[in-house]
């Protein structure tokens, strides 16, 4: 697909949202009390068709994601499509945590009705954590990026933001590390270039509940999650998409054949 220098430019990151906390209370309240509606299904249909066709998204290890109960999905983040790519091979609905700047008309209608809730980056947004914890208490699948914002180069950050460590420790929900390989090049769509994107789901990471974890413990857990994501991503980059998919298919066949052999 080319190197980093071949990437189409994107707008600079904007971390500060001048709107007060109270402006976002209604979005949190809806996420905490209502399920995603038709807007989620419509958005999922449109983005999944795009992902399956032009991006040729393929998934490895989707069975690692529990079919029910509270789960934290933790992908690396290089494209605006990563939310949708993470879930297009999962039957469960994903509740997304998205930057507050996105919550503006007309798109905020889609976000709120699609079950998305805002986070005010750089503001130590307690409301976002309260919403995420409420959703996990209800047995939802919540997506949170360990890196925080998008990577501009496709390289995974060396250090995670501590938030995902805090959420995992305070709730005890299993964390699924997810490597998305190739999505950095989605930004080149205006040049008529569409990458092959591969998603690899890792084994669940589980942590004992700690009601008030220290900042150091939060950071340690977050860094461990990010290290797992990096290992999966590096494996995809080294092995290659075709070989990784073939190995996954062979592993599934052996797993299916095992009970018959044992009998």
Sign, CA torsion 204/208/156/141? positive
Reference 161, options 22, 15, 24; nearest CA is 15
Alpha carbon distance 207, 108 (integer Å): 34
The backbone torsions φ and ψ at residue 72, rounded to the nearest 5 degrees and listed phi first, read -105, 120
Average pLDDT along the chain, 263 residues, taken 10 residues at a time: 69 82 96 95 96 96 96 96 95 94 92 94 91 98 94 90 97 98 89 91 97 97 98 95 92 80 54
Domain spans of the chain? 38-99+118-255
pLDDT of res. 9: 78
Q: Which class for 212: exposed (0-12), middle (13-18), buried (19 or more C-beta within 10 A)?
A: exposed
pLDDT of res. 261: 55
Rounded CA Rg of the chain: 18
Q: Cβ(119)–Cβ(99) under 8 Å?
A: yes
Strands of the 58-60 sheet, one edge to the other: 58-60, 198-201, 175-181, 71-75, 141-143, 94-99, 117-119
Q: Cβ(88)–Cβ(52) under 8 Å?
A: yes
Alpha carbon distance 183, 57 (integer Å): 9
Q: Cβ(32)–Cβ(115) under 8 Å?
A: no
pLDDT of res. 258: 75
Q: What is the pTM of this model?
A: 0.92
pLDDT of res. 260: 58
> Going by CATH, does the domain composed of 38-99+118-255 fall within 3.40.1130.10?
yes
pLDDT of res. 152: 83
**Neighbour tally for 134: CB within 10 Å:** 16
pLDDT of res. 11: 75
Listed in sequence order, the residues at least 6 apart from 252 whose beta carbon sits closer than 8 Å to its beta carbon are: none
pLDDT of res. 195: 93
Give the DSSP H/E element, type plus range, for residue 117: strand 117-119
Residue 205: DSSP 8-state: B
């Amino acid at each position: 697909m080319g190197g980093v220098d071949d990437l189409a430019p994107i707008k600079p990151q904007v971390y500060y949202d001048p709107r007060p906390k109270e402006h976002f209370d209604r979005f949190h309240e809806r996420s905490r009390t209502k399920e995603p509606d038709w807007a989620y299904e419509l958005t999922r249909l449109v983005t999944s068709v795009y992902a399956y066709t032009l991006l040729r998204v393929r998934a490895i290890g989707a069975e690692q994601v529990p079919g029910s109960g509270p789960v934290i999905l933790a992908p690396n983040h290089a494209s605006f499509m990563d939310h949708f790519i993470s879930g297009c091979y999962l039957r469960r609905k994903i509740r997304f945590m998205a930057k507050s700047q996105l919550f503006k008309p007309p798109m905020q209608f889609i976000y709120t009705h699609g079950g998305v809730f805002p986070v005010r980056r750089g503001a130590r947004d307690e409301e976002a954590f309260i919403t995420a914890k409420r959703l996990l208490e209800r047995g939802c699948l919540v997506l949170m990026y360990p890196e925080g914002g998008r990577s501009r180069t496709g390289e995974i950050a060396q250090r995670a933001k501590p938030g995902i460590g805090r959420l995992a420790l305070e709730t005890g929900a299993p964390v699924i590390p997810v490597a998305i390989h190739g999505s950095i090049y989605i930004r080149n769509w205006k040049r008529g270039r569409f990458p092959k994107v591969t998603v690899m789901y890792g084994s669940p990471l589980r942590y004992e509940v700690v009601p008030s974890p220290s900042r150091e413990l939060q950071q340690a857990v977050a860094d461990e999650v990010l290290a797992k994501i990096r290992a999966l991503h590096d494996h995809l980059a080294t092995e290659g998409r075709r070989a990784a998919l073939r190995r996954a298919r062979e592993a599934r066949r052996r797993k299916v054949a095992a009970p018959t052999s044992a009998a």
